[in-house]
């Protein structure tokens, strides 16, 4: 898989270095860095990474909304394992952009973390610039939003993990109908994604996962757990559902196989667009009238009516069909 990063060349090399620093089973494997020519005669760097057959977690949730519980809890555990690995590095490697679109899925729906464009080694991090925050305000902790001098800590990623857990459980995007200005205002004041519609007793162990979720997004960063604590809970929950994981994967694969692919939808959309273009280019229908003393004619449906009046011979008016 080739990715053309959004960052300058130096940042691409920095991301590549950080991905090598964070190499493990649950972190996307970097295969190399390549150069590609651009029209201006210069070169642009790109990352060559392991291909992930099932795309991102975000895309999967958009297609299926609710995943089977065994798969939901396995994904939560694998993300926690990946983040725990990063935080156990020396120095600590902070991701700083943990969200469903940065969790990729292989052919068996195993999770791997990606996009280290914002990641920082804790020994060198100073602050998170507003320019680097991108569109992920929904996953940012309150202290990062309200303090321009904030220095990121592991608690930043833990907060993001709590919001990601909510998305996994509900299949929804956090604050999907709110403007970013409102989100920035309310998160530091304690507002979090809505949990009123979640029945924690609906399935076994869901209550345990929700308690973890809420502790991760605690207003006080000192009260949030470490990922080493998180994996103890996610592992316990997943182990309870592990016997059903193969069936869950087969069900998801079966459902996806019956759904139109993005390529087929794009092709259909293109065909429809072509039909519209051809329809617009066709000459409008023309109706000819030969009439005398015609009045009160109404033109409808974008038809063009040419009316010819004759004075030498009277004719009855023909009605448009």
The residues that are catalytic are 97
- The candidate with the shortest Cα–Cα distance to 209, out of 162, 249, 258, 174, is 162
Under DSSP, the state recorded for 164 is H
Can you tell me whether residue 46 is helix, strand or coil?
A: strand
- The candidate with the shortest Cα–Cα distance to 145, out of 219, 211, 83, 86, is 219
- The candidate with the shortest Cα–Cα distance to 307, out of 290, 284, 319, is 290
Structure token pair of residue 5 = 């990063």
Which neighbouring-strand residues pair with 120?
A: 94
Element (H, E) at 48: strand 43-49
Element (H, E) at 148: none
- The candidate with the shortest Cα–Cα distance to 225, out of 215, 214, 234, 236, is 215
Q: Residues 49, 141, 172, CA angle at the centre, nearest 5°? A: 65
Q: Is the dihedral of CA 174, 176, 181, 185 positive or negative?
A: negative
């Amino acid at each position: 898989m080739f990715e053309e990063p959004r960052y300058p060349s130096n940042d691409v090399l920095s991301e590549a270095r950080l991905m090598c620093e964070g190499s493990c089973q649950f972190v996307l494997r970097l295969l190399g860095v390549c150069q590609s020519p651009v029209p201006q005669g210069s070169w642009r760097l790109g990352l060559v990474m392991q291909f992930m057959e099932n795309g991102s977690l975000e895309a999967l949730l958009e297609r299926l909304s609710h995943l089977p519980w065994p798969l939901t809890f396995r994904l939560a555990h694998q993300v926690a394992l990946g983040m725990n690995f990063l935080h156990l590095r020396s120095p600590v490697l902070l991701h700083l952009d943990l969200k469903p679109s940065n969790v990729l899925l292989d052919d068996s729906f195993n999770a791997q973390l990606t996009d280290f464009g914002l990641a920082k080694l804790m020994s060198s991090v100073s602050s998170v610039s507003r320019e680097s925050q991108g569109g992920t305000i929904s996953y940012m902790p309150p202290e990062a939003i309200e303090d321009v001098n904030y220095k990121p800590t592991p608690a930043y990623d833990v907060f993001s993990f709590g919001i990601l857990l909510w998305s996994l459980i509900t299949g929804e995007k956090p604050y999907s109908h709110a403007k970013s200005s409102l989100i920035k205002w309310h998160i530091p004041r304690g507002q979090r994604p809505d949990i009123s519609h979640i029945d924690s007793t609906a399935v076994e162990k869901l209550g345990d996962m929700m308690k973890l979720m809420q502790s991760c997004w605690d207003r006080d960063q000192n009260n949030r757990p470490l990922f080493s604590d998180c994996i103890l809970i996610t592992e316990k929950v997943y182990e309870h559902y592990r016997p059903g994981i193969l069936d869950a994967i087969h069900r998801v694969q079966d459902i996806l196989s019956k759904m139109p692919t993005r390529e087929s939808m794009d092709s259909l959309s293109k065909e429809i667009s072509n039909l519209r273009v051809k329809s617009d280019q066709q000459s409008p229908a023309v109706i000819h009238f030969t009439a005398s003393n015609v009045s009160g004619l109404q033109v409808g449906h974008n038809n063009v009516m040419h009316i010819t009046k004759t004075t030498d011979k009277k004719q009855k008016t023909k009605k448009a069909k």
